Amino acid sequence: MKRSQLYSLFSVVLVAALLFSCKRSSESESERRTSDGSVIVETGELAAVNSRSVVVSRYGRQWYQMKIVGLLNHGEIVKKGDSIAQLDPADINKYILESESNLETQLAVLEKLYVEQENKKQESESKIRNESAAFDLKKIEWEASRFESERLRKIKQLEYEQAVINLEKEKKIYELNKAINTSELKIQEIRVEQIKK
């Protein structure tokens, strides 16, 4: 029993010695003592004279993936036009090359569209001329059949009506293709303009 009391007494003395040996500073970082013993307490906030937010320009969809390789230190004074950050030029060059390539592709698609639409227009005009010639021929045949039998006149009349229907159909197709081509051209031109911006 004496031994456990001895250990208890020794541990209490050791803890007390440790507590008294550690100097506890009553001064916080914002308090300072002067040579005459008075205490100076500093409080408040630091604020910039002129504070500005900086927004990075969007470079397409990849703007958030660009790496910052250089940045000014916090608190440095800058003037209008000074660089405050440097983006990795490899990412920017990659974006520029992709944009130029995409623009060239879209311009090629636009040129191809012009040529295809011109070919379709000529083909459609040719079909209209053919149907118009067939219409004129069937009209002449129908008028010439007035001295033929009733059955033959009926056949020529039906052929004439079919030629009228075919001619009207080709004219409608021509007008519809014209509207579709205008829309396709407008869409492609908008794509090119969006890439140019």
* pLDDT tens digit sequence for 137-165: 988 988 888 888 999 989 989 999 999 99
Which pLDDT does position 45 carry in this prediction?
74
Tokens representing 74 are 């916090």
Alpha helices in the chain (DSSP H): 2-21, 89-144, 150-196
Which pLDDT does position 69 carry in this prediction?
82
Q: What are phi and psi of 45, to 5 degrees?
A: -125, 150
Using DSSP's 3-state secondary structure scheme, residue 111 falls into helix
CA distance linking residue 161 with residue 167, whole number of Å: 10
Which pLDDT does position 75 carry in this prediction?
75
Contacts of 170 (CB under 8 A, 6+ apart): 124, 127, 128, 131
CA distance linking residue 169 with residue 127, whole number of Å: 10
Which pLDDT does position 62 carry in this prediction?
60
CA distance linking residue 123 with residue 81, whole number of Å: 58
Which pLDDT does position 20 carry in this prediction?
66
Q: With a cut of 50, which residues of the chain have pLDDT below it?
A: none
The whole model's pTM is what? 0.51
CA distance linking residue 10 with residue 3, whole number of Å: 10
What residues does 185 pair with on adjacent strands? none
